[in-house]
Amino acid sequence: MNFPHTVQGERIVLKRARATFKLAEELIAAVNESRTDLLPWLPWALENKKAEDEFGWLLNWCEKNWREKIGYAYIVRKKADEKLLGSIDFMKVNTGWKSGEIGYWLRSSEVGHGYMNEAVKLLEKEVFTRDFNRIIIINDTRNTRSANVAARAGYHLDGVLRQDRTSPTENIFVDTNIWSKLKSEYKG
């Protein structure tokens, strides 16, 4: 199964996340700008503090998973000026069950413009045209922005896993939304 290295949208482009130090520097700048907004939801935002950390993610997660065909990470960029907006991944790929999970984050200065909704729709098209049957999106129930992306993209809220994880920044258990879309519901 081969995913494209570049996916063009109307306003954005998804580009395969390649392990370069230049990209790692761009990523850490976006993370640093957005760290306060990312910390409540994404544990890696606590750990990734310098470009070397991002380079490690690019090399040890993005490149490795792409090679093994178990995860496909893309950098989301504006088409007009190539500004790095965030990233989106198709991960936890299970070819036997024909399913996987989409995860995403967006830099704080670009929230509210529909970029992530566009990115989700671009990536789901690539997934469903490769004969996958189901995509899930998970988010902390308190993360309304992430939930709004899933809802606007037409994902069905399957349910809530009660206290299934702990918050990365608070010593509390949190609930998780499980959203899904089936190939039969895809309106490509």
Spell out the domain ranges in the chain.
6-132
The residue-averaged pLDDT of 152-172 equals: 94
Tokens at 9, concatenated: 């949208």
Amino acid at 20: T
Task: Give 3-57 pLDDT, tens digit per residue.
Answer: 999 999 999 999 999 999 999 999 999 999 999 999 889 888 878 889 999 999 9
**Cα separation values, 72 from 4, 76, 168, Å:** 10, 13, 24
Q: Collect all residues with Cβ–Cβ distance below 8 Å to 181 and sequence separation of at least 6.
A: 124, 134, 135, 153, 154, 155, 156
Task: Give 60-117 pLDDT, tens digit per residue.
Answer: 999 999 999 999 999 999 999 999 999 999 999 999 999 999 999 999 999 999 999 9
Write down the residue that tokens 């976006």 correspond to: 30
The CATH code for residues 6-132 is 3.40.630.30
**Cα separation values, 12 from 3, 8, 75, 121, Å:** 17, 7, 10, 11
